[in-house]
Amino acid sequence: MKVRILKLEEERDQIARIKNRSSGNILDVENSVKAIIDNVKNNGNRALIELTEKFDDVLLCEKKIIVKQNEIKQAYSKLSFSEILAIKNAAKNIKNYARFQKPKQWFKETSTGIKIGVIIKPIEKIGCYIPGGRYPLPSTVLMSVIPAKVAGVKEIVIATPPQKNGKINPAILVAADVAGVTKIIKVGGAQAVAAMAYGTKSIPKVDKIVGPGNIYVTAAKKLLYGIVGIDMLAGPSEVLIIADEDSNPKFIAADMLAQAEHDPLACSILVTNSIELANATKSEIEKQTEKLSSKEIIKQSFEKFSCIILVNSLDEAIKFSNQFAPEHLELMGFEKEILKEIDNAGSVFLGEYSVEAAGDYCSGTNHILPTGMFSKIRGGLSVFDFLKFITVQNLSKSGLKKLNSTISVLADMENLPAHKNSSNIRFEVGDSLW
């Protein structure tokens, strides 16, 4: 397996290609996704049945689109005690973190006669997309549903593609039950996103859709934004590790491989100023890969987008990281010194024992994170994604009088006389507008 060691100052073109690896991919599928969306919009359940047969090779009927309660009960019997316990333990930690995140309403008098504040209300109906392709992801059920539940969302629907036997993976069903899902849909792909956006005879129309998916799911979310709210457009997963000469190459290699096994387009990068660490990590990557059942996917990731980058200094590493804006950022060796200098990252892992897999599964933080440099503008999925912040103001006559001249001047500047009059009229005698 080829593991590249690139010098930042000499290989900027290659590194730029890695940074921009997902650009344009959505455009390649938009026309076909639009056709799917239009089909679902016009034909509802019939389209879902046809498209599930076409893409998943599963025959559904209208009565089987929604998972029945007995299917959920059966799912529990197919998991071991330790598997069920792991799901419940992860759910507990995610719920606790979401509770810490939940903001409080406030209402304050900022000046005599002027009170302002915010009331916080949950979104009413949420749709969560749960991938079901290469790997079943019960953890994604917990990550998408539990923050919504803590926020107070009343109706939570998940959509996930069926297996070849027409059933949903039992781990996903148990996770959905533990998390408190309202309805489970046996449909995947762009058609599932369209169904939740428009609604069908079986599937309620939701207000917002969250969760990761393949390029077709992402394209559908992009095209349907405005019809329905979305969280973000997720691309291939990525980790960037900043490490010094004292860091453990075995740990670094293991973390890079854990990310690379997600997808051939996944990106695992070590940034270091130590050539010794770079070479030692390279050897460890090659050695550990051969022991993994996912090695073929890993090899593709390293052939395309994963690498080790050599920089001249820690400052250069930090600058590069902030420009790259990684989904996952691991800081090893000097984490406390540089955390305050990190501006862009979806989720940060401090120290050699803060393994990314803990964040993926059960530490409590969310693993639905911005990719493709989108951590420059937002963080990961959270309680905030499921809340509406409604501003409130309450002015007395004396309070409005304090603001009246400012209102008048700004209204004149914008040539909006009715705005000016709406305030002035409250202080005039008689009916004159002027």
Q: Based on the residue annotation, tell me whether 328 is a catalytic residue of this protein.
A: yes
Of 261, 284, 328, 335, the catalytic one is 328
**384 vs 262: CA distance, rounded Å:** 27
DSSP collapsed to 3 states, 31-81: HHHHHHHHHHHHHCHHHHHHHHHHHHCCCCCHHHCECCHHHHHHHHHCCCH
pLDDT for residue 431 is more than 60: no
pLDDT higher than threshold 50 for residue 434: no
Architecture of domain 5-22+235-364: 3-Layer(aba) Sandwich (3.40)
Q: Phi and psi of 111, rounded to 5°? A: -160, 160
Q: Which residue spans of the chain are classified as CATH 3.40.50.1980? A: 5-22+235-364, 25-230
Which helix H or strand E contains 121, and what residues bound it?
A: strand 114-122
Two structure tokens written together for 370: 């911005």
pLDDT classification of 1: cutoffs 50, 70, 90: confident
Q: Where are the beta strands (DSSP E) in 284-335?
A: 307-310, 328-332
Task: Taking residues 117-138, report their average pLDDT.
Answer: 92
Q: What is the pTM of this model?
A: 0.93
- The DSSP bridge partners found for residue 229 are 208
> What is the model's pLDDT at position 334?
64
pLDDT higher than 80, residue 135: no
21-35, 103-117, 181-195: least confidently modelled range: 21-35
Q: Which of 238, 327, 352, 356 is catalytic?
A: 327
> pLDDT tens-digit profile of 29-86?
999 999 999 999 999 999 999 999 999 999 999 999 999 999 999 999 999 999 999 9
pLDDT at 13: 81
Task: Give yes or no for residue 429 having a pLDDT over 70.
Answer: no
pLDDT of 170: 96
d(CA 190, CA 220): 5
24, pLDDT greater than 80: no
> What is the band of 245 on the pLDDT scale with cuts at 50, 70, 90?
very high
Q: Is 83 a known active-site residue? A: no
The CATH class given to the 25-230 domain equals alpha beta
> If pLDDT is split at 50, 70 and 90, which confidence band does 8 have?
confident
pLDDT at 418: 98
Q: Report the greatest alpha carbon distance in the chain.
A: 88
Mean pLDDT of the chain: 94
Is the pLDDT assigned to residue 174 strictly greater than 60? yes
State how far the Cα of 292 lies from the Cα of 84, in Å rounded to an integer.
25
